[in-house]
Structure 1
Amino acid sequence: MTSGGSSVGSGSSLEGRVAVVTGVSRRAGIGFAVAREMLAAGASVLVHSWSPHDAEQPWGTDPVGDAGIVELLGGEGHRLRHVAADFADPQAPGLVVGAAVEAFGAVDVVVANHARSSNQSLTEVTAAELDLTWAVNARASVLLTQAFAAAHDDERPGGRIILFTSGQHLAPMSQELPYAISKGAIHQMTLSLSDALADRGITVNTLNPGPVDTGWADPDLTERVGRALPAGRWGSPAEVARLVRWLASEDSQWITGQVINAEGGFRRWAM
């Protein structure tokens, strides 16, 4: 503990670290909160976005656009850069990691927060959507990890990869099969990726943040899920971001290969 009663461990500073945070395209999103938290902790951050995906979804794109998001984070400069890339392209993960190295000279942390949402049931699911959702969510997470491993300087201690899954291992998601299947792949890859990098001092962990209020749910779903959460509310992006910051820090060095459920006691049976 630091002096003065702070709850932030002394190893939680990210001063001098370089992080890539994917999926930073909406002020209400987890990615925006994570990027802001990492910057506040002292890291240099390359933020990635792909707004055309948001344009296809009910919530739409953020009115301020990519440029506005970057400005709200402090504007491009010596500690913040932005790149737009479509992870349906297998070259994109490598280009994103390469952009961080070009901008900041190194890369220490990758937070693979991006996701393609897809609502297709068993009767609706198509091969094209399965392929696309798997490519963006699962394949890109592997390729980001591969690109990070190739670029990381092991003389810089504390390599961190933080992936995201979505609770599909705890309850069925039969109306979102492409999404659930692709997120399940991330769950299953975590241990093997961590083993591949453990001898280099690089940790790989996956976070299931539970229900997080990012503005996508309608009022009925918001109310029903809220009843199943002991706090009576959904989680906030800021709460997720604080956990990501900790996982990116020196304090988390003894944890790898884990899928961490941070759901606020979510009682699915109570919905």
Structure 2
Amino acid sequence: MINPNLKGKAILITGGNSGIGSAMTEQFAEMGSKIIIHYYDKEEKATQLVRTIQESGGEAVAIYADLRQEQDIDQLMEKSIKAFGTVDALINNAAACVLDTIFDTTGETIDEHFEMNARVPVQLMNRFVLLHKEQGKKEGSIVNISTDASQKFARQISYGASKAALEAYTRSVAIEAGPHGITVNCISPGPTQTGYIDDQLERMVMPDIPMRRLGEPKDIAEAAVFFASKQARWITGQVLLVSGGHYI
């Protein structure tokens, strides 16, 4: 069902061609939005999503970028503007996740996480806010994707810590971007089945989920749609657990 508040809005989704990102791409397309699918790998999946959206009468483009490279961030924004004239909402979804513990973590592992999960989203938010100032836009939305385990994540200590940093940036940027009509919020998903949760892990986490089911990518996508819509126009600086009650 098309949401009149999102119809025709240009939505940039990083990592928009797989997992939760793919679900967000599909959900925003259903709302009538114009979709900019950023991808780093799985090009075929990105082009297939574009084709599916276009065949349904929607508008979408797929843009490659290695977000670790600052020039690629600039090119991603430039190509997005060239495609649709502006970017109305930024969804920071792309992330790095490698297992590490205090016994085996390295400087390289720490840097890899904080580069993708904290520095890159901040740089994208910077470009987004500057674009809105330059274009004189009165409203916009940023949605960052974290994890509900950001405050403690044994066996993934750098991933959890880098996402905690992203949540802190969310609150600070919300204060600075608010006067420009931009809301900045964060979604912290619980255990969500994107293919990585096997039967053993599901049995392990299920007792800690009051709703007694794993999350689906669409659960996260629908929360992102809400934050980008006018229904959330007076909500900013918030971190929302979308977790079925996990880690409440």
Whether TM exceeds 0.5 here: the answer is yes
1:158 aligns with 2:150: no
1: distance between equivalents of 2:24 and 2:207? Answer: 26
2: distance between equivalents of 1:137 and 1:150? Answer: 21
Cα shift at 1:190 = 1.1
Identify unmatched segments of 5+ residues in structure 1. 1-7, 52-60
Cα shift at 1:73 = 3.9
TM-score by length of 1: 0.83
Q: Which runs of 4+ in 1 moved over 6 A?
A: 75-78
1:217-256 per-position Cα deviation (integer Å, ceiling 9, x unaligned): 2220022222322232111111111111110011101001
Cα separation, partners in 2 of 1:188 and 1:104, compared to 1, 3 Å: same
Identify unmatched segments of 5+ residues in structure 2. none
- Out of 5, 15, 28, the residue aligned to residue 7 of structure 2 is 15
Match in the other structure for 1:246: 226
Cα separation, partners in 2 of 1:267 and 1:132, compared to 1, 3 Å: closer
- RMSD, aligned CA: 2.4
Contact 1:13/1:42 (CA < 8 Å) preserved in 2? no
2: distance between equivalents of 1:31 and 1:237? Answer: 8
Cα shift at 1:156 = 3.7
Contact 1:88/1:132 (CA < 8 Å) preserved in 2? no
Contact 2:3/2:32 (CA < 8 Å) preserved in 1? no
1:99-144 per-position Cα deviation (integer Å, ceiling 9, x unaligned): 2111000111000011111101111111112112211111000000
Cα separation, partners in 2 of 1:76 and 1:66, compared to 1, 3 Å: farther
1:167 aligns with 2:167: no
Number of aligned positions between the proteins = 247
Which segment is superposed worse, 123-132 or 138-147?
A: 123-132
- Out of 107, 116, 119, the residue aligned to residue 139 of structure 1 is 119
1:219 aligns with 2:209: no
- Out of 13, 16, 24, the residue aligned to residue 24 of structure 1 is 16
Contact 2:174/2:183 (CA < 8 Å) preserved in 1? yes
1:167-226 per-position Cα deviation (integer Å, ceiling 9, x unaligned): 2345x2121122112111101111110111110010111110211111112220022222
Question: What code does the residue aligned with 2:17 have?
Answer: S
